[in-house]
Structure 1
Amino acid sequence: MDIAKNRTDAVELELPSPPVPVANYVPVRQVGNLIFTAGQTPTRDGVLTVSGKLGRELSIEQGQEASATAALNCLSALQQHLGSLDRIVSIVSLTGYVASAEGFGDQPAVINGASLVLEKAFGDKGRHARAAVGVAELPGLAPVEISMIVEV
């Protein structure tokens, strides 16, 4: 699915198939005009595209790519829920978790991969508040996990 079909012709980001929950949760939950996404990792068709910890097995650039993929998974879940990404008024907040080796402190640089995807897709509406948090481990040994809050 191509975001360009749902946003503008200038955007050329391809959405993956919507992620399928691997446990007992829903991909999105809407409360009034806010939608909360479940955390998404860098998977394609249920398979992790990369694993490892930032600052040990993975570079910042690999982490940025992984966070961009996870953000696209969030957008895919939103697309499935909303029917069209055009209904999004703004990306309110993004939380990024980074599986970090001891001493790694560049979590914000890693999560920039996700932030840049959202800005590219939505322009100023994609600019958001954000947290980038280093953690010891993530599900399935994923390097990053992204969740967001959007306004519709």
Structure 2
Amino acid sequence: MADTPKHSVSVAGIVVRDDGRILAVQRRDNAHWEPPGGVLELGETFEEGVRREVAEETGVDVRVERLTGAYKNIPRGIVALVFRCSPTGGDAGESDEAQRVRWLTPTEVEQLMDPAYAVRVLDAIGDGTASRAHDGVQLIPGG
């Protein structure tokens, strides 16, 4: 089993306000717009990880509602579990990881985010649960 590939597990929160706007961050390291999220730490549940990551990156506290999708970055071996959330408190603002934090419309999400990240938001505002693969930017057909 020494040759078994290793994967990293990350979590992300699609935080949707009552007016339908979605919380997004512009990352400091690459200037890309994405939903807040990051690597799940050992010893924490998925929901704990989502709440921690969203709060760390944006200052917003959330209630985790449901799993909306599982996404795999094939080249990097990262599996992301994405959850729809609702804000419960805090004030959105920049952080060590986010140079900008904004509440976007779904149209702005499609315009600002790479397809591999925009689809996570669009899936989360729908009713189902998705399973998709991508190359870090673009979706992989049939993935």
Which TM-score tier does this pair reach, normalised by the shorter chain? under 0.3
Q: Which has the higher contact order (CA 8 A, sep 6+)?
A: 1
Instruction: Using structure 2 for the length normalisation, give the TM-score.
Output: 0.25
Structure that is richer in strand per residue? 2
